[in-house]
Amino acid sequence: MTKVHTFCRLCEPACALIAEVSESGISELRPDKEHPVHKGFACHKGLSFLDVHYDPDRLDYPLRKAKGKNSDGPDFVRISWDEAFQEIAGKLQAIQERYGPSAIAAYTGNPASYTTATYQKASSIISSMGCRMKFSAGTQDCSAKFAASEGIYGSLMFHPIPDLLHTDYFLSIGSNPMVSHMSFVHVSDPMEKLKDIRRRGGTIRFVNPRIIESSTPETGDVLLIRPDTDFYFLAGVLHEMLFEIGFDRAAVEARSRNIDGLLKFVSAYPPDRVAPVTGIGADTIRQVAKEFTDAPRASIHMSTGVNMGRQGALAYWMLNMISLVTGNLGRQGGNVYSPGFFPMAKFIRKKTDNPYFDSPHGEIRLIGQDLPATLLPDMIVRDEDPIRALIVLAGNPVLSLAGGDRLREAMMQLDLIVVIDIFRTATGEMADYILPATDWLEHEDINSLQAAVGAALEPYVQYTPAVEAPKGERRDDWWILARIAQEMGKPTMLDDPDPNPLEKIEKLLAESGLSINQLKSLPCQTAVLPPINPDDLFEIGIQHPDGLVDCCPVILHRGFERAEALLGELQSESPDQLKLITRRTNYMMNSWLHNVSRFKGSVHQINPLWINPEDAAKLDLYEGDRVEVYNENGAIDADLVFDTTLRRGVVSMSHGWGHRGAKGLRIAQKHHGVNVNQLAPTGPGSYDTLSNQTHMTGLNVSVRRLEIES
């Protein structure tokens, strides 16, 4: 039996694990107590990953859709890799020749960010195939933050993180650390860090439409906000700071420009004006502003609960300004920048104040390289330059993107769908080719996402070897893509007789005086980096040429009118309007992990509609009722479950369900549930044009009982 130090790549902490390996395979994954940062923390999802790794439903061979499919849907036949590459390359070339440069699209999902070689190489290989229509999980997740940071700091990869290790006050908005383990702050065992804040005598306030699991007597209370109103809440807090409490203007101006623009904008949002739409009293908004200002060191964080609303970019702007004007930006215990082994912000600088261009769907922009994913169906069905081929890498757009049936129907019009995945998913079912990828126990890696995006609270770099050789004919994502490109006659890394997909990371490591060989010789193959230096934020982080924070970025101005329009819309809504919010659980990872039978315990066999019993009573609904949840975008059925943690007027459902047609996932199909994204909007007007962010939380819905025929 040998012991391999490795790490989990399911979510952002990248918890250190020990794999016990014998000749018959990996017998166990357990927390790595020797790891200098994680010290034995890992959650049950990472520890259960062998259920995914050894799942008999895993893809082991390339598959091609069988010809002459019957009405039960497509079925697949095994083919060789060479056949797959030749056929796919030939079809891509033919599509490109016939339909032109916009005909090939790619969608890259969330797990692609967790594999260094894929993260570093996939996009350029896909571009080399002549694909310029790129979509990713980013526009469902965090593009609001990218857009705001690009304007405020000059780089979309610059995100001041809350210094949870030293803070006295933590305002946590739209995040449930106990379940998600946090996003855009990479922290081991986040709940312990939060409890430590309280143990030090500090205060934590969560802002959420639900009393979340993270809120306990050992952490802090929840301010129950009305969904999709966080921007107004934050603007109200900032208004109080700027105009009532007061701030050190000289100190702020030494670090920033355009403060007058900020003052003018925020002057429209006094607490008394915003309080009614947020559902948080004006006095409470003022109190939060005072607590934050008075705390010796205060920090702030928002996450997907805000990003996925309609104004995530403006909200993130307000959040960063709160940190700046209270003197907490770049201060220990405030919000800090963590460059890790390499300050990625430097390399992803803002290029222009006007990135917008005309399209058949109105003016659009790219975030990084990404188009708005809610336009994918429109871009397929349009007459002019339609998308005809889609390459899906490590993603499950059919379930994870907005649109549900509308997206599925558009995708059925495509001439070619190629899915690179570890499972035959709901998206895979629609594919012409499904290509089997390795999982994270089957390739060497570096925790580059954690170390390089500037969000590691306790920075370190870890190397892991492949714990086990790839099973069957599984191949690494980068290699699969490179082989397709090669077959299309493009130059690729494979032209090198000994290609090294970690080459770029090696170069970046060298800038910190590190190398993979050196990491291999260290305990847990881990180099602990120097702790965060708060001065780095202003000294190396900000990427505007003048080194100053932009307090009122031009790029955000086009959101101003909409902020007023949406305020009016929210003000005029009926108080009985139900709002549907997002809900992650400990037993899912977006749409995957649904084939793990041990995660299908009693309450996790279905994805119910959770409702506050008082709202249910008003609608004459009872627990266990079969209901229809509907809005202008679609309708789904669900079982009703009571939940007193929800704010009145708020209902919630988990995404990532809807595996009814996923024949390749036997357990997931048995507990298929429904796809909540059927209710999320698509098409022009459906997303935040500042950021391309999809609107996925705070959706207006109605609920009615489905009469069961007796």
Ligand X SMILES: Nc1nc2c(c(=O)[nH]1)N[C@H]1C(S)=C(S)[C@@H](COP(=O)(O)OP(=O)(O)OC[C@H]3O[C@@H](n4cnc5c(=O)[nH]c(N)nc54)[C@H](O)[C@@H]3O)O[C@H]1N2
- Cβ nearer to Mo ion, comparing 118 with 486: 118
- Is 49 a binding residue for ligand X by CB under 6 A? The answer is no
Q: Which of residues 643-682 bind ligand X (CB under 6 A)?
A: 655-656, 676-677, 680
- Cβ nearer to ligand X, comparing 184 with 337: 184
Q: Which of residues 135-164 bind ligand X (CB under 6 A)?
A: 137, 140-141
Alpha-carbon span 520 to 709, nearest angstrom:
65
Q: How far is CA 280 from CA 274, 361, 445, 706, in A?
A: 9, 37, 45, 34
- Is 698 a binding residue for ligand X by CB under 6 A? The answer is yes
**Residue 384 CA neighbour count, 13 Å, CB half:** 3
Amino acid identity, residue 528? V
Across 602-636, b (16+ Cβ under 10 Å) vs e yields eebebbbbbbbeebbeebebeeebebebbbebbeb
Interface pick for Mo ion out of 12, 32, 55, 141 (rule CB under 5 A): 141
- Cβ nearer to ligand X, comparing 4 with 589: 589
- Cβ nearer to ligand SF4, comparing 140 with 188: 188
Alpha-carbon span 363 to 582, nearest angstrom:
29
- Cβ nearer to ligand X, comparing 437 with 552: 437
Q: Which of residues 221-240 bind ligand X (CB under 6 A)?
A: 225, 227-228, 230
- Cβ nearer to ligand X, comparing 163 with 439: 439
- Is 168 a binding residue for Mo ion by CB under 5 A? The answer is no
The candidate with the shortest Cα–Cα distance to 225, out of 697, 701, 584, 705, is 697
Query: What tokens does 689 get?
Result: 């044009």
Residues 6+ apart with CB under 8 A from 85: 483, 484, 486, 487
Alpha-carbon span 451 to 113, nearest angstrom:
12
- Cβ nearer to ligand SF4, comparing 181 with 365: 181
Nearest-approach distance from CB 505 to ligand X, in angstroms: 17
* Nearest-CB residue for ligand X: 305
Alpha-carbon span 454 to 343, nearest angstrom:
7
Nearest-approach distance from CB 460 to ligand SF4, in angstroms: 14
Handedness of CA 2, 41, 178, 442 (dihedral sign): negative
Query: What tokens does 94 get?
Result: 């033919």
- Cβ nearer to Mo ion, comparing 141 with 429: 141
Q: Position of tokens 């969330």? A: 110
Three-state secondary structure string covering 374-403: HHHHHHHHCCCCCCCEEEEECCCHHHHCCC
Residues 6+ apart with CB under 8 A from 250: none
Residue 46's binding partner, choosing from ligand X, Mo ion, ligand SF4, none, with beta-carbon cut-off 5 to 8 A by kind?
Answer: ligand SF4
Residue 134's binding partner, choosing from ligand SF4, ligand X, Mo ion, none, with beta-carbon cut-off 5 to 8 A by kind?
Answer: none
Nearest-approach distance from CB 28 to ligand SF4, in angstroms: 14
Alpha-carbon span 232 to 261, nearest angstrom:
17
- Cβ nearer to ligand X, comparing 319 with 509: 319
* Nearest-CB residue for Mo ion: 141
Q: Which of residues 294-323 bind ligand X (CB under 6 A)?
A: 303-306, 309
Q: Note the residues at the interface with ligand SF4 (CB under 6 A).
A: 8, 10-11, 13-15, 42-43, 45-46, 181
Nearest-approach distance from CB 82 to ligand X, in angstroms: 20
Asked if residue 534 lies in contact with residue 526, where contact means CB atoms within 8 angstroms, the answer is: no
Nearest-approach distance from CB 310 to ligand SF4, in angstroms: 29
Asked if residue 665 lies in contact with residue 656, where contact means CB atoms within 8 angstroms, the answer is: no
Interface pick for ligand X out of 171, 212, 529, 563 (rule CB under 6 A): 212
The candidate with the shortest Cα–Cα distance to 338, out of 540, 484, 57, is 540
Alpha-carbon span 537 to 414, nearest angstrom:
46
- Cβ nearer to ligand SF4, comparing 3 with 670: 3
Binding-site ranges for ligand X (CB under 6 A): 11, 109-111, 115, 137, 140-141, 173-176, 179-183, 207-210, 212, 225, 227-228, 230, 303-306, 309, 393-397, 400, 420-423, 425, 437, 439, 477, 581-582, 584, 586, 588-592, 655-656, 676-677, 680, 696-698
Binding-site ranges for Mo ion (CB under 5 A): 141
